Structure 1
Amino acid sequence: MSKSKNIIVTNEFGNKDFLPLFSSEFKVFHFPMIKTVPTNKILDLDNFDFIIFTSKNGIRFFMDSIKEPHKLKFKKIISLGSKTSDYLKEFNINSYFTSPKNYAEVMLEEIKKRDFIKDKKVLLVQGNLASNNLFEGLKKFSIVERLNVYNTLLEKKIFLELEKIILDNDTYTVFTSPSCFDAFILNYEALRTNIISIGTTTTNFIEKKGYKALMTSKMQTYDSLSSMILEYLRERK
């Protein structure tokens, strides 16, 4: 008798990000491998012409920490991808520019090509584990300062239920960041599950750790990742 197909998501917020999976015919489990906490750091917004957001987490923690949110109305906002831009609208903030793809290197090239932040004062809002590549690239043509508004912590607790699910079922474990995978392999055997990655950055990290992803989403979004997983599993029912 073949084992049932189970999907495991490891990001922090689970069903909020993966509604198509949780509403599908497959069993889906959420075991968060990371948690984010605020740094409570903030800078004087008067010192910047542009503010760059690269994630919803960055926006959320930034908005929670600033004391004068009305000042954002006078800043030009740059966002990484449409989902980040859409989340800004929940705070009644519109992006001056939205990068067409969710990759920092694409954003950097698009900004450089348009030349609108040349020699401008820029605040780059990120988390502590974000690569420094975007910051280093922006430094070449703007006056940029990086602000880490949140820290990502690895979940070290062992979920006994997760161990049993992986052992007894045909599982497809979804990783949305290198840190999620890093936390997972601390306590679980990654070779026992099918590894699914949200994008090339996460896949490259997985491969550097000596593992192989079964699938990598072409678009680095939760919706694209969900569609890819469901299409794959439905074809193999």
Structure 2
Amino acid sequence: MYILSDKKVKWAKNLPVFKIEPIKADLDFSSYDALIFTSKNAVTSLNSYNQAWKSKPLYVIAPQTAKVASNLGGKIKFVGKEKHGNEFAYELLPLLKNKKVLYVCGSKIVSNLVETLNTNDIICDEAIVYETVCINNKKKIKLPKNSTVIFSSPSTIDCFLKNALWDKSYKAISIGHTTEKYFPSYIKPIVSETTSLDSCVKKALELRN
């Protein structure tokens, strides 16, 4: 099975198809009550050029993102239970009512989080702090028949299919329901239980048995 990034997970091989490039934003956090993160890439990209974010309470989508933020000195206020973007937004509604918050994210936003919060008595702005750039291989990637490929974001779908031809013997694992929506019609992914690569690998191993 293949993970389309450099993240090491037992039983899986790495096949990076993208790179993360920080986008430096001139940010003033003083007017915000809290920050929202749904990606560890947003945390590490922001931290590469700005340390002021650590003074604000953080609302994060999943334990993996919380761990990265906490290790960098962030103050975790809430970790999502649902672990999928749109469901996470609804978890935040009672917690952030009448507050002003900043959603720190990448250039490709795939959930309706900002819209959901703004239509439910929360002021939510967004700050784009990174972009995902596809790695362009000179030769097309060709995987063995019956390979399992783990897709962890809409960008991994885009970048993989720019570099490889999909074979009908392959199996696709989607990290979440939001990513699932971005697959072309000829790929029918299986969605992992939670939005973590470990959970995706576990699902792939179950399919083998």
Regarding TM over 0.5, the answer is: yes
Q: Deviations over 1:141-162 (max 9, x none)?
A: 22221001001112222445x3
2:163 and 2:85 mapped to 1: Cα distance? 30
SS of match in other structure, 1:65: coil
Q: Could you list the per-position Cα deviations for residues 123-168 of structure 1 after superposition, in whole angstroms to 9, with x for gaps in the alignment?
A: 11000012261111121222221001001112222445x32xx2x5
Instruction: For structure 1, list consecutive stretches of 5 or more residues without a partner in the other structure.
Output: 1-6, 23-27
Hey, what does 2:11 align to over in structure 1?
A: 21
Which runs of no fewer than 5 residues in structure 2 stay unpaired?
A: none
Q: Is 2:93 the counterpart of 1:136?
A: no
Could you tell me how far apart the structure 2 residues matched to 1:142 and 1:130 are? 19
Structure 2 vs 1, CA of residues 214 and 149 (structure 1 numbering), >3 Å: closer, same or farther?
closer
Aligned partner of 1:119 in structure 2 is: 98
1:1-237 equivalences in 2 (<5 Å): 7-11=1-5, 13-15=6-8, 18=9, 20-22=10-12, 28=13, 30-66=14-50, 68-69=51-52, 72-73=54-55, 75-112=56-93, 114=94, 116-131=95-110, 133-140=112-119, 141-159=121-139, 162-163=141-142, 166=143, 168-192=144-168, 193-206=170-183, 209-233=184-208, 235=209
Whether the aligned pair in 2 keeps the contact of 1:138 and 1:144 (CA below 8 Å) is yes
Can you list the C-alpha shifts for 1:50-73, whole angstroms capped at 9, x where unaligned?
11111111110111121x43x633
Code of the residue aligned with 1:131 in structure 2: it is: V
Identity level (%): 24
Does structure 2 retain, via aligned residues, the 8 Å contact 1:48–1:121? yes
**Corresponding residue pairs, total:** 207
Q: Which structure: greater helix fraction?
A: 1
Q: CA deviation at 1:176?
A: 1.1
Cα separation, 2, equivalents of 1:132 and 1:196: 19
Q: Secondary structure at the match of 2:2?
A: strand
Question: TM-score scaled to structure 1, two decimals?
Answer: 0.79
Q: In 2 relative to 1, CA 56–36 (structure 1 residues): closer, same or farther, beyond 3 Å?
A: same
Distance 1:214 1:58, change over 3 A: closer
Q: Return structure 1 stretches of 4+ with deviation > 3 angstroms.
A: none
Cα pair 2:99 2:123 within 8 Å, conserved? yes
Q: What per-residue deviation string (whole Å, max 9, x for no partner) do you get for residues 107-129 of structure 1?
A: 211111x2x42232211100001
Q: Which amino acid aligns with 1:170?
A: N
- Counterparts of 2:111 and 2:26, CA distance in 1: 19
Call closer, same or farther: CA 1:214–1:134 in 2, change over 3 Å: closer
State the structure with more CA Rg: 1
Q: Using the TM superposition, give the Cα deviation of residue 216 of structure 1 relative to its aligned residue in structure 2, in angstroms.
A: 2.1
Aligned equivalents of 2:200, 2:160: Cα separation in 1: 19
